[in-house]
A = this chain, B = another copy of it.
């Protein structure tokens, strides 16, 4: 893998957070979390041209920022302001299949106003993490001519900011959400019909993340199903979807084209990074991976999905 700065640039706007996570493996406090933390780390395996725009409070450990710098990530867009860092407290069920939010302390994130510098405005790929759709739209007004804008959102915004979200969606190429969010956004249970409705709202492609059921891509050219790797060790599902998005966008920056074939491969690279992420707590599963390990996991996915084409 030739990780070089000549790759297309990827701008990530999202949360940088600290998480307290309870569950079958006990309570873990002050874990590094937030969508941008997972996205940037997953993407950095594919390209040195990643920039993060976010906000942290004065309680945020500098070592997490330094680590990103060490990975080649441009952190000039991460502002440190007085106050507490965004803090999420959640608890997973014993089988890790569901979780509940116990507390959300927005802290400095409540006043987050993404400000892009000149280099950020020229980003070719933009990934909008799950933030207020009004802020997502604000970012899209600042970037100049991105070739791909991808975005995530959540049930809260679909519920209380549908109008703003629809305005954002009109300018988003690729929407990445989970199946319940897709159903809620489209007001339609059937995923194929929900996808058709969402593709009329603006995006040219829709990626539906389904956890251990894999991910589906719907676009003009049809559908693609990326399988999920059945893993023997799942420790912490937090950040799986963001790691998926980071791997996907990082691979697109690395590959340098946006063909349907490349997007399919990118979804598998996203699945690879998601599968590494859930095997350990926080971003630990994304730490210290080698190209050989990533290639091996990709090959495992290829083997998992392979079957012979036959003629009856």
A: which residues have CB within 8 A of B?
Answer: 1, 94-97, 189-193, 195-196, 210, 212-214, 216, 218, 222-228, 230-232, 234, 261, 264-265, 267-268, 291, 294-295, 298-299, 302-312
Closest chain B residue to A96, Cβ basis: B189
This chain's copy number in the assembly: 2
From B95, B225, B310, B311, A305 is in contact (CB under 8 Å) with B225
> How far does the alpha carbon of A95 sit from the alpha carbon of B191 in the complex, in Å?
11
A225 touches B223 (CB 8 A): no
With A190-B232, A216-B230 as contacts: A261 and B308 at CB distance below 8 Å: yes
Q: Are B222 and A303 in contact (CB under 8 A)?
A: yes
Known: A225-B304, A227-B225. A310 touches B210 (CB 8 A): no
Q: A307: which of B193, B195, B264 is its contact (CB, 8 Å)?
A: B264
| Bound complex: CA A190 to CA B237 (Å) | 13
Q: How far is the CA of A189 from the CA of B307 in the complex (A)?
A: 27
Decide if A214 touches B216 in the complex (CB within 8 Å).
Answer: no
- Give which listed residue, B224, B234, B298, B307, contacts A190 with CB less than 8 A: B234
Cα(A195)–Cα(B298), bound, Å: 22
User: Which A-B residue pairs are the 6 nearest by beta carbons?
Assistant: A213-B213, A225-B227, A1-B312, A264-B307, A95-B189, A192-B230
Alpha-carbon distance A302/B309, docked complex (angstroms): 7
The residue in chain B whose Cβ has the minimal distance to the Cβ of A232 is B192
Which of B1, B96, B193 touches A232 (beta carbons < 8 Å)?
B193
Question: Min CB distance, A275 to chain B, in Å?
Answer: 12
Q: Give A62 to B303 CA distance when docked, in angstroms.
A: 47
Distance in Å from the Cβ of A107 to the closest Cβ of chain B? 35
Given contacts A261-B307, A298-B310, 20 further A-B contacts (CB under 8 A): A96-B189, A191-B212, A192-B231, A213-B213, A213-B214, A214-B227, A225-B227, A225-B228, A225-B304, A225-B305, A264-B306, A265-B307, A268-B307, A291-B312, A294-B312, A295-B312, A299-B309, A302-B309, A305-B305, A305-B307
State the CA gap A216–B229 with chains docked (Å): 10
Distance in Å: Cβ of A5 to nearest Cβ of chain B:
17
- A267→B213 contact, CB < 8 A: no
What is the bound-complex CA distance between A302 and B311, given in angstroms? 12
**A262 and chain B: residue at smallest CB distance:** B308
Closest approach, in angstroms, between the C-beta of A97 and any C-beta of chain B? 8
Q: Is the CB of B265 within 8 A of A310?
A: yes
17 contacts between A and B (CB under 8 A): A95-B189, A191-B212, A191-B230, A213-B214, A214-B227, A222-B303, A222-B304, A223-B230, A224-B304, A224-B307, A225-B228, A225-B304, A226-B307, A265-B308, A265-B310, A295-B312, A305-B307
Contacts of A96 in B (CB 8 A): 189
Question: Given A230-B191, A312-B294 in contact, is the A223-B304 Cβ separation under 8 Å?
Answer: yes
In the complex, how many angstroms separate the beta carbon of A88 from the nearest chain B beta carbon? 24
In whole angstroms, how far apart are the Cα atoms of A225 and B225 in the complex?
Answer: 10
Bound: A305/B268 CA distance, A: 11
